[in-house]
Amino acid sequence: MAEAIRVACEEDDDVTSSVVVVCADDFFLDSDGNFTFISSLLGKAHEWAQIKARKAMKTDDNRIVVVDNTNLQIWEMLPYIKMAGEAGYSVLLLEPQTEWRLNLAQLARKTRHGVPFDKLKLMKNRMEIKVDLKAVVSNLPENFRPT
């Protein structure tokens, strides 16, 4: 989805902002683009992605920042929502709407990184369905919530 957003923005003459896609999965790519997941480094990968997102949001060129992570629960989204608010960004939460988005067999066939079926099942069980921005904002500290 993030790549489609990036391409659409670049092809739209009315969009003058550059687009930065931030994805924790990219932490596991080598210089040739090969993906090697190391579970013990997952926390580091998310720290890396948050640093990259923060840097992208602090530039002065009015860029669009797309966070392309598997945020299954509200708490996983909060650091990005908070930094977006601090940087004056508007936030839009997008969830895939394909017919197969919750179909484990289809997901196992389509995963870019070969995520095993049993791991996809665990992820699906952790997923908070129909998360909206109000639900996310209600989990922010009161002094940060928009008025």
Q: pLDDT digit string (tens) for 74-119?
A: 888 889 988 988 888 888 888 888 888 889 999 889 888 888 889 8
Entry pTM: 0.78
Per DSSP, the three-state class of 35 is: strand
Q: How is residue 140 written in tokens?
A: 């922010």
| pLDDT given for residue 55 in this prediction | 92
∠ CA(64), CA(42), CA(69), 5° rounding?
30
In a domain, 101, yes or no: no
Indicate the number of domains in the chain: 1
In a domain, 7, yes or no: yes
In a domain, 76, yes or no: yes
In a domain, 113, yes or no: no
Q: Give the domain extent around 67.
A: 2-95+131-137
User: Does 16 have pLDDT greater than 70?
Assistant: no
Taking residues 133-138, what's their average pLDDT? 70
Distances 82 to 3, 30, 79, 121, 141 between C-alpha atoms, Å: 23, 30, 5, 29, 10
